[in-house]
Chains A and B, each alone.
Chain A
Amino acid sequence: MSHAETAIQCGSCASGCNTAHLAKLGIKTGNWDYVVALAGNPNTGKSTIFNALTGLNQHVGNWAGKTVTRAEGAFTLGGKKFKLVDLPGTYSLLSTSVDEEIARDFVLFGKPDVTVVVADATRLERNLNLVLQILEITDRAVVALNLIDEAGRNNIKVDERSLARDLGVPVVSMAARSGKGVDELLGAIEQVSSGEFQARPHRIKYTDDILENAIDTLATQLHGQFEDLPNARWVALRLLEGDESIINAVQTATLGTVRAANVFPPLVQLEAR
């Protein structure tokens, strides 16, 4: 497959200090063939990959929390239009902070065609925590094993084939800052989006029968109430954990709706005090 025709197209500008234009970045999936979400731990080079794919200049800072909301860009590949959504960097999808909620809601309810999970090759175990959580939600994923050059300098070798076998999704070794692996990542995105690659994602096993039964009961019930729910089992688990935001979403029947990029809870509630 040749990626020579990979054209780079500027969809929207996410750099600079002008926040007003964030409002324009709604989810207009109608104009796109595929939507790709970009997730990963903080400081894994997510923004570098975003820039490499879209040609945008989102500023890359070496600290956690640089991307607070979703940034969106676009590229075309093999004649298809892809929208790329850069999610806030998070360690987990299970916690309660707002940036984690944004990332989680999009992977779960935004139904991206492909979710690229960026993992840091120098600290793989920690990064696999998020990768495995995302594989619980979706099987349309690609793992971008970034910072492979830094790992090499630290005498760390990662066997990408062993990893791909265990995870059941494509794994691409990258050094995004020098452009290494970008073509391979595009290839993997294309294969997963077109359905050419059939994933058999790793799933966490719960040996606990009581837990399995509880998940089944709730999942069935959830399906009855929210027809389009992509992953009722995952939602059921969160209810069993007592996840406040999911409980709230069920209560208000807003489960499954993705909030727009710029909608952030305003601070008026403080007024009431």
Chain B
Amino acid sequence: MTNSEAILDNAARLRGEVGGNLHDRLTEAIYSDAGAIAGRAVSAGEQTGNLEQKFDRILTSRLWGFPLMILLLTGVFWLTIAGANIPSAMLGELLQGTVYNALHGVAAALNAPWWLSGFWIDGVYLATAWVVSVMLPPMAIFFPLFTLLEDLGYLPRVAFNLDRLFKRAGAHGKQALTMMMGYGCNAAGVVSTRIIDSPRERMIAIVTNNFAICNGRWGTLILIGAIFVGATAPPFMASFIAATSVVAIAILGVIFTLLVSAFLSKTWLKGEASSFSLELPPYRPPQIWQTLYKSIIDRTLIVLKRAVIMAAPAGAVIWLISNINIGEASIATHLISFLNPFGLLIGLNGVILLAYIVAIPANEIVIPTILMLTLNLSKSGLAQTGVMSGIDDDMQIQEVLTGMGGWTLLTGINLLLFSLLHNPCSTTIWTIWQETRSLKWTTISTILPVVLGIAVCLLTATAARLFF
């Protein structure tokens, strides 16, 4: 017998001697000392009113819990959409107008060959400029608002409100919290599933985290919601309707999270929801300025940096595939005509599908990629001379997409859906592999959302064809 075995044997024997429920007895001893010490140190005066508790009872009440949650979310997006409009237009004018023209001016003065200025200015620079002007304003408004809600202590209340649904789906109560992390970044969300002890429930949380819309996708949703869905409403309602469409997609994400969790609990990851406890922390008044500063530095700039880093090479790739010809047409044209039939079948198009392939490293660059591909490919010939600079606000983006790209309301709606339901970005896929070390589950986590996305888009496209 080894020493270790001897120790464990001895421990087992002594355990019988000291009697059962030792843990209870020890904890009781600790709490009784804690009570005595606290009793000597703490003197509590008259407790001030129960305002917080009343507030909490409303926020989580049978009647108001869910409507208030949706209203709060809609409010956040309404502020984002309404507020981002003007700064987006101004940034667009500056980056795609003034600076862009100045760069071409310099290139012309230096007699730079067309392919050199094209590659750097129409490819690398322009993709970067697009990302900044499209992404920065909504993020700079959305993240501080979301962070305020988080600091206030509202997120655990959301988990509290939703828990019954998660339980019925056979999922862990803390999955709602990992979903909240996913709303920032899915890779972070996947890591945060470590707070779930049961391997079965942790795996469910990992697979479904992608249904929480991440930083990189909010920008796409907000823009497309504004220019396609919002535009169908009268102007004074436009921002509100646009916000509603974004909220609807977010709620759809929660529904898919629950459905897929329930499906996994009944099939490959069979089991009942295990118990948990969730603390509802006291509300703390957020420190407004610090929150603003931190959410801009921590979240907005980090996401923007990642987007820019990914956008520059993507811009180069887009320019190259748009300008290198095989036979009669450019590589991009070949790829898009190959993807187009399938894209159109599911109510999207070849450009969107190609953009999602280019954007595997980062969802942030989907919109810029779509715009550059659409412009580069349009037969108007504008792209070659780089007249993209004219596009500097949302309405003009819509004109490009509908006029040159042939988009309809269906394309817009299906892009919203596909933005929710497609493969995770490469960082998230890598993180899933790191956390699970399972090829099977990494593959399922990657493929399942795309399959769902294609199915849902096919459904809406078919419905649109039948009814309109």
Contact = CB atoms under 8 A, between A and B. Distances in A.
A243 to B, nearest CB: 8
B4 A225 contact: yes
A133 interface: yes
A257 interface: no
B29 interface: yes
Given A19-B187, A96-B197, A241-B23, A163 B278 contact: no
B167 interface: no
A240 B22 contact: yes
Interface in B90-131: none
Nearest to B52: A154
Given A225-B7, A270-B203, A271-B438, A62 B150 contact: yes
B47 A154 contact: yes
Given A240-B22, A241-B23, A268-B438, A122 B15 contact: no
A214 interface: yes
The contact size tier of chain B is 35 or more
A210 B44 contact: no
Contacts of B155: 61-63
B1 interface: no
Nearest to B29: A204
B42 interface: yes
Interface string A197-226: 000001011101011001001100110110
A17 B30 contact: no
A163 B41 contact: yes
B133 to A, nearest CB: 23
A196 interface: no
Contact of B44 (A15, A60, A156, A205): A156
A157 B44 contact: yes
B3 A270 contact: no
Interface string A44-70: 000000000000010111111100110
Interface in B262-287: 269, 278-279, 281-282, 284, 287
A19 B7 contact: no
B152 interface: yes
Given A63-B155, A132-B34, A124 B15 contact: no
Interface in B283-341: 284, 287, 294, 297-299, 302
A256 interface: no
A59 B26 contact: no
A57 B296 CA distance: 12
A217 B12 CA distance: 13
Contact of B34 (A19, A62, A125, A268): A125
Given A221-B6, A267-B199, A68 B191 contact: yes
B8 A239 contact: yes
Interface in B22-45: 22-23, 26-27, 29-31, 33-35, 37-45
A252 B13 CA distance: 20
Given A156-B44, A204-B30, A166 B440 contact: no
The contact size tier of chain A is 35 or more
Contact of A270 (B29, B31, B174, B199): B199
Interface in B187-202: 187-188, 191-192, 194-195, 197, 199-200, 202
A159 B34 CA distance: 15
A154 B48 contact: yes
Given A98-B197, A129-B30, A250-B7, A158 B441 contact: no
Given A57-B297, A266-B435, A64 B203 contact: no
Given A155-B47, A250-B8, A99 B195 contact: yes
A208 B25 CA distance: 11
Given A204-B26, A206-B29, A240-B22, 7 more contacts: A57-B298, A128-B38, A236-B11, A240-B11, A240-B18, A253-B4, A270-B436
16 contacts: A63-B155, A63-B281, A64-B281, A69-B191, A96-B197, A98-B197, A155-B48, A163-B40, A166-B41, A177-B287, A217-B10, A218-B14, A221-B3, A251-B5, A266-B437, A271-B441
Interface of B: 3-8, 10-11, 14-15, 17-18, 22-23, 26-27, 29-31, 33-35, 37-48, 150-153, 155-156, 174, 177, 180, 184-185, 187-188, 191-192, 194-195, 197, 199-200, 202-203, 206, 215, 269, 278-279, 281-282, 284, 287, 294, 297-299, 302, 427, 431, 434-438, 440-441
The 6 residue pairs across chains A and B that have the minimum distance between CB atoms: A17-B185, A155-B45, A128-B34, A266-B437, A125-B38, A239-B11
